[in-house]
Amino acid sequence: MLNTIQWPGQQELQAWRHDFHRHPETAFQEHRTSARVVELLTSFGLEVHTGLAGTGVVAVLRGNRGDGPSIGLRADMDALHVIELNQCEHASTHAGRMHACGHDGHTTMLLGAAKVLAAHPDFAGTVHFIFQPAEENEGGARAMMADGLFERFPMQAVYSMHNWPGLPAGAAAVHATAVMAAFDIFDLTLSGKGCHGAMPHLGKDTLLAACQLVTHLPALIAREQEVHKPAVLSVTSFNAGDTYNVLPEQVKLRGTVRCFDMDQRARIEQRLRDAIAATCALHGLESHLDYRVSYPATINNPQHAEVCADVLTALLGAENVKRDLKPSMASEDFAFMAQQCPGVYIWLGNGESSASLHSPKYDFNDSVLPVGVRYWVELVGALLRDGKLPV
């Protein structure tokens, strides 16, 4: 397909991306972004559907070679509640919000592929272009599925990508199985008896108990979990007290648990509950734990991952396709889609000097835009050229 296609130019792709970057919108508020996506997809002549999970968009393209499998290509659209520190011309114009994770680039690359494929539908089957809201913490993939994504648009496989700082531009990573960890969060309130700081024997010390938990909880990973099954338990917020001479009545902790094995995930939650109960019993406290199972682990389908790796090898060269990178302990709600049907989630290099994801100085690398477009187009060709998917 490469020799016959007129590809979107760098300036066109960059203009789309910069427009999205200037106008970041957070979870389920992507109204302007969604409208612009619909405008472009409609101009390409695609069948466009709106309203899934509020701001989600799905465009449908049927190949000119007749019937065949249906697949989905997914990009996320939402931004983050981050104050941008970049001074570039396309910096955020929405105070306190920015595209600090590159979803502006993901959306642009999928739009570029939709434009190319709409003009050259040389395949058998159907492609669904999925533009998803609310990837960051809010489970937009799950919300689109609850609104009938896979019932209204049946597909036999689904694919996604994410830019990856530290990985060179022009390189990519494909995992055979686990890519991103499961993600749980918890809020814990310890309640005791406040008292004068000079008379601790008159109270029930929530601060002391909370400090013991903060230092003890990591041992649930270091000493109780199998070392070949990575896991993380981190207390990320500690709120207590208002003044110098009062031991507080309450302490509030927040944190996150991440792992890949779902049985291990259940064991960690139970041991967290056990540790809280034991600490509270020791200090005579009460507790309230709100533990929320958020995202499952993102697990690639091995057979489909091989197809993705082959496509990337043809585009980038074998030396630029990494097959041995460790999975990330970060999380991704594409995991919900990959649970429903075979899925593959790849990493596309954003450059070795790129600021990290979620940094206020992060910016998507515009030189990567054409690479992502070509990957999507060639992947469709590899999957649907012969009218059958890998098994």
> Would the annotation count 136 as a binding residue?
yes
The vertex-371 CA angle with 161 and 20, nearest 5°, equals: 70
**Residue 101 annotated in ligand binding:** yes
Is 332 marked as a binding-site residue? Answer: no
Residue from 316, 383, 377 nearest 347 by CA: 316
Q: Which residues pair with 240 in a beta bridge?
A: 251
Q: CA-based angle 116:154:101, to the nearest 5?
A: 55
Residues 6+ apart with CB under 8 A from 42: 48
| Alpha-carbon radius of gyration of the chain | 24
Instruction: Quote the CA–CA distance of 317 and 219 in Å, as a whole number.
Output: 43
Helix axes 10-22, 103-119, angle to 10 degrees: 140
Write out the two tokens for 116.
């190319």
Q: 172: helix, coil or strand?
A: strand
Residue 188: count other Cβ atoms within 10 Å of its Cβ: 21
Q: What CA–CA distance (Å, rounded) separates 198 from 151?
A: 64
Q: Which residues pair with 259 in a beta bridge?
A: 182, 231
71 touches 384 (CB < 8 A)? yes
**292-to-62, 238, 282, 284 alpha-carbon distances in Å:** 40, 18, 26, 26
Contact between 256 and 188 under an 8 Å Cβ cutoff? The reply is no
CA atoms within 13 A on the CB side of 205: 14
**Is the distance from CB of 264 to CB of 225 less than 8 angstroms?**
yes
358 labeled binding residue: yes
Token digits of residue 100: 């600090």
Binding site per annotation, positions for Mn(2+): 101, 103, 136, 162, 358
The annotated binding site is made up of 101, 103, 136, 162, 358
